[in-house]
Amino acid sequence: MLAGKEKQVAENKSESKGKEEKLDGEIQKLMDSSKELPKKKRRFKKRWILIPLIILALVFFVMRILGGANKGGFPVVTDELKKGDVRNVLTLSGPVSGTDSADVTSGLHAQVTELYVKEGDKVEKGQALAKLNPHDVEQALALAENQVELAKANREEALKNAQSSYAKAAQALQSAQADYNRKAELYQGGDISQADFEQAQSALKDASAAMQAFTVKGGKVSVGDSYDIQIQNAEKELEKAKDKINDTTLTSPISGTVTRVNTKVGQFADSQENQKRSLFTIENLDTLELEIGVSEYTIGKISVGQKATIRADIMGDKTAEGEVVSISPSGELKSEGGTERVIPTKIRIDGAASGLISGITAKADILLEEAKDSYVVPISALISQDDGGSAIAFVKDGIVHFSPVNTGVESDISVAVSPKNADDPYFAEGSHYITTPDSNITDGMPVREASVTDLPSSGGAAASAASNAESSASSGAGGSSGAAAGTGSESAAE
């Protein structure tokens, strides 16, 4: 049966070829006859010549397709099965920033009097960036110092008064005690009345109570904690004032590069705070980080230590190597109103060698899977099978043969494949397969192999006819001058 099919295919090809040659001859005769027309009439008949040429070209095109599909086999584009590499790469973009970054702000309502750095300058930790007017802060410091001295003076005055009062109370107690002792003896002897005795007793009690009102520590009278608290509060305010004096010199909290200067001489330092901007931004640009959001559906394929290739417009054709250094333990919404979540992931880059700068957007290509020295075909070559598997349509001697395959690593356009049956006679290096099988392709059907340039739309007398027609139109328009040239152009356009 197979031999009969092959014989029929050969006969169909021969018959189709004869028809094509005959049609080519008819078109060529018509072309030759058009060239023999007198030049003076050619411009007027040109449009009538173009119309049948175009019609004949279209007829030839349709007959060639139908002839190929019905007589010589359905035309298909094939390629040779070859080995190669397939890489499954995840590409994501995100902002580039320094690995260490610090914003310098100031809450002082003081004018900037000096700027010591500009954007791009490298600075060390603690290096001065700017100077603020210290006038108001110095006044506040002097006031704070005075408040401390006043609080201490108040305590000393209170201690002095308390000591004096304590001495008087002690003397009063001593006198009351002596008076009580004397009257007690007299009362016992019946020399004074009970009322006089009770009066002396009451005076002693009052004097004792007055003494108990004083707090004595280490033999010294204390005025209580209130004065000490006042001094402590005043000293705290003094420390704040001293800090503000130090804050009039703005310094860098880290070593790095000045990437932003958002102030100038004459501006108030706290004006940027109201605008939620820092006065200076310092970043460590020796090592950069690219932050990307990896989909929750893909994050399982990403791990710390994974390599990445970094690309950006600023780098031109160059790339840089990166490494995944951190994966956030929690996700966040990819977009407002959506449900998909992404996991923030950081990739570290050698900034000094990459040519990247902070603040731009870059792309990271993360290699997820790779298959080397495998049979590779376009994804479009796969045919879905009823069992859920895939197959490739091989072509041998003009007949289609479906071969079930296992699929492996897949990129955007290609996939690694292997035969499901180890003894598959058609799955072999160099075998021809259909690159994009039509839905009408079936196992065992006859086909005609062709490359892209062999397809009906690019060859034969049709192309020659179109070329000659264009040449004729150009001659008609360019062969005359003035109004005749304009007419020729319009005719060609019509």
Task: Render pLDDT for 245-264 as a digit per residue (tens, 0 to 9).
Answer: 888 999 999 999 999 999 99
Residue 114's SS3 state is strand
**pTM for this entry:** 0.51
pLDDT greater than 50 at residue 48: no
pLDDT greater than 50 at residue 279: yes
Q: 300: number of CA atoms within 13 Å, CB side?
A: 2
Residue 377's SS3 state is strand
Contacts of 70 (CB under 8 A, 6+ apart): 12
* Sequence-separated contacts (24+) of 15-20 with Cβ below 8 Å: 15/71, 16/64, 16/67, 16/68, 16/71, 16/72, 19/63, 19/67, 20/60, 20/63, 20/64, 20/67, 20/460
Contacts of 264 (CB under 8 A, 6+ apart): 112, 115
Task: Render pLDDT for 34-47 as a digit per residue (tens, 0 to 9).
Answer: 444 444 444 434 44
Task: Render pLDDT for 397-424 as a digit per residue (tens, 0 to 9).
Answer: 999 999 999 999 999 999 999 999 999 9
pLDDT bucket at 55, cuts 50 / 70 / 90: low
Q: Token match 């004459």: residue?
A: 266
Residue 63: name the closest of 460, 438, 466 by CA.
Answer: 460
Pinpoint the alpha helices (H) of 410-480. 460-478
CA 438 to chain centroid: 40
DSSP run (H or E) holding 179: helix 135-188
* CA torsion angle 418 419 424 427 (round to 10): -40
Residue type, 78: T
Domains of the chain, earliest start first: 2-72+459-493 (no CATH), 77-84+372-453 (2.40.420.20), 91-95+287-370 (2.40.30.170), 103-128+251-282 (2.40.50), 136-245 (1.20.120)
pLDDT greater than 90 at residue 304: yes
414, 86 contact by CB (below 8 A) = yes
Helical axes 39-70 vs 483-493, angle rounded to 10°: 10
Task: Render pLDDT for 327-360 as a digit per residue (tens, 0 to 9).
Answer: 999 999 988 888 999 999 999 997 666 788 888 9
pLDDT greater than 60 at residue 437: yes
Beta strands in 99-197 (DSSP E): 101-104, 112-115, 122-123, 128-132
Residue 342's SS3 state is strand
Task: Report, in this order, helix, strand and coil percent for the chain, each rounded to 5.
Answer: 45, 30, 25
Q: How far apart are CA 468 and CA 349, in angstroms?
A: 60
Q: How far apart are CA 203 and CA 86, in angstroms?
A: 110
Contacts of 294 (CB under 8 A, 6+ apart): 90, 92, 302, 327, 342, 343, 345
Neighbouring C-beta atoms of residue 395, cutoff 10 Å: 21
pLDDT bucket at 170, cuts 50 / 70 / 90: confident
DSSP run (H or E) holding 25: helix 2-35
Q: How far apart are CA 146 and CA 158, in angstroms?
A: 18
Helical axes 460-478 vs 39-70, angle rounded to 10°: 160
Residue 436: name the closest of 128, 61, 65, 76 by CA.
Answer: 76
